[in-house]
Chain A
Amino acid sequence: MLRGFLSNDLPRSRVLTAALVVIVLGLAFAPFLFPGARSLNVAAKILVFIVLVASYDLLLGYTGIVSFAHTMFFGIGAYGVAIALTRLGPTWSAIAAGVVGGLAVSLVLSLVIGLFSLRVRAIFYAMITLAVAAAFQTLASQLSDLTGGEDGLTFKVPEVLSPGFSLMEEPFLGASLDGKFLSYYLLFVVAVVLFLVMLRVVNSPFGRVLQAIRENDFRAEALGYRTVIYRTLSNVLGAGFATLAGAMLAVWLRYNGPDTSLSFEIMLDILLMVVIGGMGTMYGAIVGATVFILTQSYLQDLMKLASDGMAVLPVAGGFLSALLSPDRWLLWLGVLFVLSVYYFPTGIVGKLRTRALGGTRRP
């Protein structure tokens, strides 16, 4: 039963299994375990990014395509829902219209970019997507009638999901059953379903071909697979899932702007999460997104302490405290990123799996 759900792709490491169980249970009962607006926001963000990072892993980890336009599709999904809810009013059909519209735009766009540039080498694709994503970001902030420009769009969601709605007067087991509670569980269910679907995709024969292309595209082509078509399909699929993740984000935040869904910083975040979690395994997305977002949300508090401590030092204290200031947390994650590409190219998950293998093989 469980094997079927996980498409026969089990974690294959006891430590990893334990970590995943902790994360999934933590997310499933987040409103009860960690009450409070801030921690619920963090948990919801983790859910959105698990889907987003998994969809990027489909491209980077499984197919070996480096795309810098993934936030573009993320943004299309978020803007699709945002624009539909602004224009059509806060109804479920508006959300559906936004998701379908966003998906359609993403699919067409990813198909065009894919057919146009995936024929050539990986590097070429990386550069073209970088340029296209930059152009799209400019476009989104220029079309201010539609997208609200730099200010973005604030909108209402269907009443059941809005914070004002309450299911019960009394708090239930320490969690208030309001609209936020419901939209959190909507996000949770959608994230679980999307994740399992992606797990199914990468463990299908189709997914095997993608991995073959990653390992040796020339050989895959020689075996009779049209690599261009498989690459493009993988690109389209990744874009589609990213769009859905964007829609989730918009429903949760009830706001969308260029900085929340389109900015290049988010692209870097996704890259860091995929690499730290582990490329080429869907579980890496769960671990990577959780570790990264927890760090992003709570490490800065810790760094503030360290920075204030360093400022006391007489010599070079100023520079050290500048290095450790909470605004520079990306510096340390960047260093971690470079180190993990060198030393743990398979990320946390890959490392744990190798260790598990080594343990059983040793006599």
Chain B
Amino acid sequence: MTARATAASAPTPDALPKVRADLLPLLLVPALALLALPLVGSLPTWVTLTVAGLAMGLIIFIIASGLTLVFGLMDILNFGHGVFIALGAFLATTVLGGMADWTASQNVFANLVAIFAAMVVAMAAAGAVGMAFERVIIRPVYGQHLKQILITMGGMIVGEELIKAIWGPQSIPLPLPAALRGSVLIGDAAIEKYRIVAVVVGLAIFALIFWVLNRTKVGLLIRAGVQDREMVEALGYRIRRLFVGVFVAGSALAGIGGVLWGLFQQNVIPQIGAQVNILIFIVIIIGGLGSAGGSFVGALLVGLLANYTGFLAPKVALFSNILLMVLVLLWRPQGLYPVAKR
């Protein structure tokens, strides 16, 4: 499922032996879930926790996928990624607040339309801001790592302060639409309705990203660019444009993720971006910097572990992510799916 696996298994079947897909990290997810089952004890609780973990993991993946691809393509780590998350979440408060009729309705479809509208607005705004961010903040410092870290951090400060200037520094409640509150009973397991929505939306977006990356020409170029940028340029493709596209798409995805995350927390503060930033850094380090597939596995692991430990040992839960990162890096120092040449 990684870039390497599929890229090498391209046309000539006999000349190149097929690289075997590395499924071991993928197995970690069900392994972790199964390991937690006896510890949690009761099956219904376990189902509830697992669904919550998957929902959280998928939202994190949506946010992290853009960041990791941007890093893979252009060797740029955007510390300002959190701004787009915060922007998405705050736009959600405005849009959902403005569509009060739709969110107060007991009709699930009206609710979903409202969330969808918020996602579209957040996507458009975050994408546009992302384009400006790339142009103003990042473009002048290509290839200078130290400056990149500093300048994107500066962009983060400015972005967060602007959000405070527009929406105010206080925390804003972001209640779920009426029909999505509460939970449904499947067997004995109570599952919050919104988490099901989050899982479905998350899986849909994951499928879309996966399809674009593995089944389209653009995706092929992106994956090739991650592996060897100069070679792709030598073949006559303008990797710069590709990169700007990925950056804008990544920002837009972070905006969508921000909407989902804000609804997940049901409460939005300006520091939300910085908080989620730490989480997604852990995820992309676990996954292997630059690997979209790796960040998927990493996000699911982080989401599941956070929910299991939150239930089993709340004190440990605060550090479960760091623990997970240390364990993964001891096993594979470059992350679960190391990208070639790094």
Measured CB to CB, the residues of A under 8 A from B are 60, 64, 66, 116, 120-124, 126-128, 130-132, 134-135, 138-139, 142, 264, 268, 271, 275, 319, 322-323, 325, 327-328, 330-331, 333-335, 337-338, 341-342, 345
Contact = CB atoms under 8 A, between A and B. Distances in A.
Contacts of A335: 158
Contacts of A334: 154, 157-158, 161
Contacts of A322: 165-166
Interface string B130-152: 00000001001100011101110
Cβ-closest 10 pairs across A and B: A331-B161, A334-B157, A334-B158, A338-B154, A127-B281, A337-B154, A138-B318, A322-B165, A123-B77, A135-B322
A126 B285 contact: no
A264 B158 CA distance: 15
Contacts of B318: 135, 138-139, 142
B165 A128 contact: no
B278 interface: yes
Contacts of B322: 131-132, 135
Contacts of A130: 277-278, 281
Contact of A268 (B71, B153, B325, B329): B153
Contact of A64 (B146, B155, B157, B282): B146
A331 B154 CA distance: 9
Contacts of B155: 338
Given A124-B285, A142-B315, A334-B161, A134 B154 contact: no
18 contacts: A66-B149, A120-B333, A122-B145, A123-B145, A123-B289, A127-B281, A135-B319, A138-B319, A139-B318, A271-B150, A328-B161, A331-B158, A334-B158, A338-B137, A338-B151, A341-B147, A342-B140, A342-B141
Contact of B146 (A122, A131, A328, A331): A122
Contacts of A271: 150, 153
Nearest to A335: B158
A124 B158 CA distance: 24
Interface in B70-88: 71, 77, 79
A264 B165 contact: no
Nearest to B136: A338
B162 interface: yes
A341 B169 contact: no
Interface of B: 71, 77, 79, 137, 140-141, 145-147, 149-151, 153-155, 157-158, 161-162, 164-166, 169, 274, 277-278, 281-282, 285, 289, 315, 318-319, 321-322, 325-326, 329, 333
Nearest to B315: A142
Interface residues of A: mostly helix, strand, loop or mixed? Answer: helix
Nearest to A61: B146
A65 to B, nearest CB: 9
Given A135-B322, A328-B165, A331-B157, 20 more contacts: A66-B150, A116-B326, A116-B329, A126-B149, A131-B281, A131-B321, A134-B278, A135-B318, A138-B319, A139-B319, A271-B153, A275-B150, A319-B166, A330-B161, A331-B158, A333-B157, A334-B157, A335-B158, A342-B141, A342-B151
Q: Which of A60, A121, A130, A338 has the most CB of B within 10 A?
A: A338
Nearest to B75: A123
Nearest to B137: A338
Contact of A122 (B140, B149, B154, B278): B149
B165 A337 contact: no
A123 B157 contact: no
A328 B164 CA distance: 8
A333 B157 CA distance: 9
Contacts of A60: 146
Contacts of A330: 157, 161
B321 A268 contact: no
A273 to B, nearest CB: 13
Contacts of B325: 128, 131
A334 to B, nearest CB: 4
Contacts of A268: 153, 157
Contacts of A319: 165-166
Contacts of A328: 161, 164-165
Q: Which of B154, B161, B164, B315 has the most CB of A within 10 A?
A: B154
Given A135-B322, A142-B315, A142-B318, A338 B164 contact: no
A322 B140 CA distance: 30
Contacts of B281: 127, 130-131
Contacts of A121: 145
Nearest to A274: B150
A341 B154 contact: yes
B337 to A, nearest CB: 16
B282 to A, nearest CB: 5
A131 B282 contact: yes
Contacts of B150: 66, 271, 275, 337, 341
B285 A128 contact: yes
A322 B162 CA distance: 9
A322 to B, nearest CB: 5
A122 B151 CA distance: 15
Contacts of A323: 165
Contacts of A116: 326, 329
Given A127-B281, A131-B322, A134-B278, A338 B165 contact: no
B164 A327 contact: yes
Q: Which of B153, B158, B162, B165 has the most CB of A within 10 A?
A: B153
Contacts of B77: 123, 126-127
B261 to A, nearest CB: 17
A117 to B, nearest CB: 8
Contacts of B154: 334, 337-338, 341
Contacts of B285: 124, 127-128
Nearest to B77: A123
A337 B157 contact: yes
